[in-house]
């Protein structure tokens, strides 16, 4: 168990809270997540989570809140072990079905003193997930319901529950049996001389031992001369750390009216009555069982947290695959905007049209003439070739951004589909997530236009003309920003054929105007700004996959931390 970082403060807070509040918080933390991803140990984690919730709801919280509530004794065992027969004998009436058909207990039967009936019929208390039916009732009750029977033979403050067989052919019977056992103050395991060595019996006994239950064990149907069987069973109990359990034997005998001869159950009846009527013994049973159950939380909850950490680790891996795919897309864009590959087709034609005519020369004007751009009087409308080049550059860059995003989305879907957990998350949405979002094109247009405006602003604010040429030349900001873009995109570095004499125009011209150092600074800022804007676009694209993780309810890294914290608080509060 990992304690919180601020142990002193956490210890003080936990120690000041009632135990039931700390347990309620622990219960909330355990119930706050689901095992969504197909990760190692997820099935075991689901079972552990449900077991802990059942035990907190059905036993721990009710018992902590009402220590004076009646004791619950749960009889459990394999099919045909004689549980129902023993229950009938203990109460002196046929309250639970017996017979040759298996399983005979189709409905859980709870027998209590009449004065305690209202307690057990109230669904707010023990086993709140089960409905209640006052008995007698038909043997087959539909749904998760307890049949509550009254018997004045049982002492007040004691209830006996005949649970379904642990090896029942019905799956829901297994779940009910486990849940009832987790809610018990006392477990009574009933087995026979013929089946005491069955694996199912020992799984039940080990579960009782590991959960710290107060335990009684009944070995029934012992044949005449079966002392060796009794001794062997006692030896097996000792070898398995169960020698302190209360042990009872019932010989093979005739069953009449669903009951044994009364004297054969007197020892069991006396033990149960003693637990109930002796206040010191009753208190010790509650303290021992509750304390032992809470002791198991020291390992069970951290084990659950470890299973959650496996979910978190897989979530992180899936998230990293998203980040990796879009980082690759951004790197591809970086390369494509450096190596000249953008400057082909329409962009190249527009540049050559601009550079090969007088428009580029007119962007630079001798001092004393009418200054261009914003530096003179009223701003002129940009020449058509300038506008066409700007549009071509924007369109080409937009296409690169969107194409890289498309490849990244395809890559993420491919990576996720290679894992079962990822494939599960993509179910029904792979086609949508496997391509760029419908909004990306519009957002990209805005981002690229804003970047082009940013370059114009860079030239206006940082493009200080070299002293040697400043007194002779003024320039048009917008036209020169296009020259800078062409230079940034690596004009002359690709294998694209360009007209002689034009390949070095952007860099030569910009260096001549601003100087190498100033040009390097502006270029670095322009590239960083472009990368930042595209990075934000790709982050927005990647969010779609994060939403798939969040929407599925995959636990994040805070969940196991909170489980460890709640377990630590419980230890302090105890």
pLDDT in tens, 149-175: 999 999 999 999 988 766 554 455 567
Q: Are 450 and 473 in contact (CB under 8 A)?
A: no
Which of 139-153, 245-259, 367-381, 488-502 is predicted most confidently?
A: 245-259
pLDDT for 343 equals 85
Question: How far from chain centre, in Å, is Cα 238?
Answer: 41
Query: How many helices, marked H, and strands, marked E, lie in the chain?
Result: 22, 10
Cα–Cα distance measured from residue 568 to residue 574, given in angstroms and rounded to the nearest whole number: 10
pLDDT band at 101 (very low <50, low <70, confident <90, very high): very low
Structural domain includes residue 462: yes
Kind of pairing between the strands at 109-112 and 158-162 = antiparallel
Determine, yes or no, domain membership for 229. no
Instruction: Give the count of domains, the chain.
Output: 1
* Least confident stretch, 34-43, 260-269, 358-367: 358-367
pLDDT, position 208:
81
CA-wise closest residue to 318 among 23, 104, 36, 43: 36
Which one is predicted more confidently, 255 or 27?
27
CA dist., res. 202 & res. 573, Å (int):
34
User: Do the domain assignments include residue 198?
Assistant: no
115 secondary structure, DSSP code: G
d(CA 166, CA 178): 8
Q: What is the pTM of this model?
A: 0.73
169 closest CA partner among 79, 108, 75, 76: 79
Residue 319 lies in a domain: no
Q: Is residue 492 part of a domain?
A: yes
**Domain-embedded: residue 440:** yes
Coil/strand/helix, residue 251: strand
Q: Which has the higher per-residue pLDDT, 502 or 81? A: 81
Average confidence (pLDDT) over 518-542: 94
Asked if 22 contacts 569 with a C-beta cutoff of 8 angstroms, the reply is yes
Strand pairing partners for 190?
A: 77, 218
The domain of 388 spans 337-554
C-alpha distance from residue 404 to each of 331, 442, 493 (Å): 9, 15, 21
Lowest mean pLDDT among 101-110, 251-260, 357-366: 101-110
In whole angstroms, give the CA distance from residue 99 to residue 399: 79
Long-range CB contacts for residues 290-296, cutoff 8 Å, separation at least 24: 290/60, 290/63, 290/64, 291/212, 292/211, 292/212, 292/213, 293/55, 293/59, 293/60, 293/211, 293/212, 293/213, 294/60, 294/570, 294/574, 295/212, 296/210, 296/211, 296/212
Long-range residue pairs from 131-138, CB within 8 A, at least 24 positions apart, any chain: 133/107, 135/95, 135/109, 136/95, 137/107, 138/107
pLDDT attached to residue 366: 47
Which pLDDT band, with edges at 50, 70 and 90, does 375 fall under?
very low
Q: SS3 for 476?
A: coil
On the question of pLDDT at 14 being above 60, the answer is no
SS3 244: coil
Q: Does a structural domain hold residue 239?
A: no
pLDDT over threshold 60, residue 371: no
Specify burial of residue 19 (Cβ count, 10 A radius: 0-12, 13-18, 19+).
Answer: middle
**Within a domain: residue 501?**
yes
Contact status, residue 272 vs residue 248, Cβ threshold 8 Å: no
């Amino acid at each position: 168990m990992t304690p919180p970082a601020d142990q002193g403060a956490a210890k003080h807070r936990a120690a000041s809270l009632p135990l039931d509040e700390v347990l309620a918080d622990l219960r909330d933390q355990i119930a706050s997540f689901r095992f969504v991803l197909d990760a190692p140990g997820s099935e075991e984690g689901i079972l552990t989570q449900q077991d802990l919730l059942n035990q907190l709801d059905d036993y721990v919280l009710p018992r902590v809140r009402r220590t004076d509530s009646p004791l619950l004794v749960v009889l459990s065992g394999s099919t045909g072990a004689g549980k129902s027969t023993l229950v009938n004998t203990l109460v002196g009436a046929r309250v639970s079905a017996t017979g040759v058909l298996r399983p005979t207990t189709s409905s859980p039967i709870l027998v209590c003193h009449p004065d305690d009936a209202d307690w057990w019929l109230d669904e707010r208390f023990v086993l709140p997930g089960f409905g209640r039916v006052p008995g007698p009732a038909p043997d087959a009750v539909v749904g998760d319901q307890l049949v509550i029977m009254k018997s004045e033979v049982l002492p007040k403050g004691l209830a006996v529950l005949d649970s379904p067989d642990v090896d029942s052919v019905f799956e829901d019977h297994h779940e009910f049996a486990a849940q009832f056992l987790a809610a018990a103050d006392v477990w009574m395991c009933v087995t026979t001389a013929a089946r005491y060595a069955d694996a199912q019996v020992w799984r039940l006994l080990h579960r009782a031992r590991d959960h710290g239950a107060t335990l009684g064990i009944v070995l029934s149907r012992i044949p005449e001369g079966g002392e060796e069987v009794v001794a062997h069973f006692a030896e097996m109990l000792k070898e398995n750390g169960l020698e302190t359990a209360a042990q009872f034997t019932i010989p093979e005998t005739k069953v009449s009216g669903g009951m044994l001869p009364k004297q054969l159950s007197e020892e069991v009846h006396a033990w149960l009555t003693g637990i109930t009527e002796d206040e010191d013994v009753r208190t010790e049973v509650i303290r021992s069982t509750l304390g032992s159950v809470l002791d198991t939380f020291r390992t069970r909850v951290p084990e659950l947290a470890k299973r959650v950490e496996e979910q978190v680790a897989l979530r992180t891996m899936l998230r990293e695959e998203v980040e990796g795919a879009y980082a690759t897309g951004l790197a591809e864009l970086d390369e494509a905007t450096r190596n000249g590959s953008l400057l082909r087709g329409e962009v190249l034609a527009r540049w050559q049209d601009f550079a090969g005519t007088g428009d580029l020369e007119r962007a630079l004007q001798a001092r004393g003439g009418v200054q261009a751009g914003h530096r003179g009087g009223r701003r002129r409308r940009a020449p058509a070739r300038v506008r066409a080049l700007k549009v071509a550059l924007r369109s080409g860059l937009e296409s690169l951004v969107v194409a890289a995003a498309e490849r990244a989305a395809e890559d993420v879907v491919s990576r996720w589909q290679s894992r079962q957990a990822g494939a599960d998350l993509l179910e029904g949405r792979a086609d949508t997530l496997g391509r760029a979002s419908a909004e990306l094109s519009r957002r990209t247009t805005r981002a690229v236009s804003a970047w082009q405006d940013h370059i114009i602003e860079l030239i206006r604010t940082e493009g200080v003309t070299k002293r040697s040429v400043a007194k002779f030349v003024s320039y048009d900001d917008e036209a020169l920003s296009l020259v800078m873009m062409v230079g940034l995109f690596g004009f002359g570095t690709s294998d694209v054929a360009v007209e002689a004499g034009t390949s070095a125009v952007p860099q030569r011209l910009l260096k001549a105007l601003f100087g190498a150092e100033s040009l390097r600074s502006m270029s670095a800022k322009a590239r960083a700004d472009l990368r930042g804007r595209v990075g934000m676009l790709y982050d927005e694209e990647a969010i779609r996959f994060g939403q798939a993780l969040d929407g599925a309810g995959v636990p994040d890294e805070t969940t196991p931390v909170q489980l460890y914290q709640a377990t630590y608080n419980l230890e302090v509060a105890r």
